[in-house]
Amino acid sequence: MKDTIPAATGHQGLQERLNYWFGNPALLQLALTHPSVAHEHGASMQTNQRLEFLGDAVLQLVLTRELYEKFPAFDEGPLTKARAQLVNRRTLAERARQLNLGQYLIVSRGEDLHGGRERPSALADTYEALLGAILLDGGYDAARNFILRQFQAAFGELSAIPELENPKGELQELLQATSTEAPRYCVASASGPDHDRLFECTVHHGGKELARGRGKSKKAAESEAALAALAKLRAAPESKP
């Protein structure tokens, strides 16, 4: 697509990096305007805060739908945790750095002198504001396509199951919804030298082995077994009376 903005005023290099060209260059300019500018030039000046609010919403919506479709066997808890991994402030700041947004960020002189262009919070906010600007400029499909391009690698890094902070707790909660019996873990084997042990653990419930897991410690192997059991239980069709 041809760039519709002169290079001197339209941030041509940034738009090429984004692989998105704005029909309304004022939206891009607004997305790059840090709140410190308003403090310096007057409270009536618009900054990127409202666009940040909008961008946060569209980012959450797009990723929520993708996670919902990518992991049909999982309920709200694991999906929420997986989404949180994708959109934490550190991650968004890093995405802003990859796009070199700091170079284009419009900040007050004081903010610039104190390293405001590379401040993680400012970069994360600007990234969300950019998403809001794309939404207003090109519509939902344009914003969605941009977000999915940006997060394609991150989705690839997610395993078949979203990483859980406490898989053993999640498994116990799931099982005890229909039974008072807690899952039981056993060490099936341990191999390797003392400095490089490999454990294999099983998890049992109702007299049956649910799954197995391996890890460099007993705790890690039990967690992997719990993850495997969760995947199996949530993927299985519900039993019918």
Q: Which residues are catalytic?
A: 56, 128
* Type of residue numbered 230: L
Residue 17, judged by CB atoms within 10 A of its CB (0-12, 13-18, 19+), counts as middle
Contact yes or no for 58/129 (Cβ under 8 A): no
Strand 198-205 relative to strand 184-191, pairing: antiparallel
**How crowded is the C-beta side of 58, counted as CA atoms within 13 Å?**
27
* 226 C-beta neighbours (distance < 10 Å), count: 26
What is the Cα–Cα distance from 231 to 150, expressed in whole angstroms?
27
Number of separate helices (H) and strands (E) present in the chain: 13, 3
How is residue 27 written in tokens?
A: 């939206």
Long-range contacts, 102-110 (Cβ 8 Å, 24+): 103/14, 104/11, 104/14, 104/32, 105/32, 105/34, 106/29, 106/32, 106/33, 106/34, 106/37, 107/34, 107/36, 107/37, 108/34, 108/36, 108/37, 108/39, 108/40, 108/41, 109/40, 110/36, 110/40
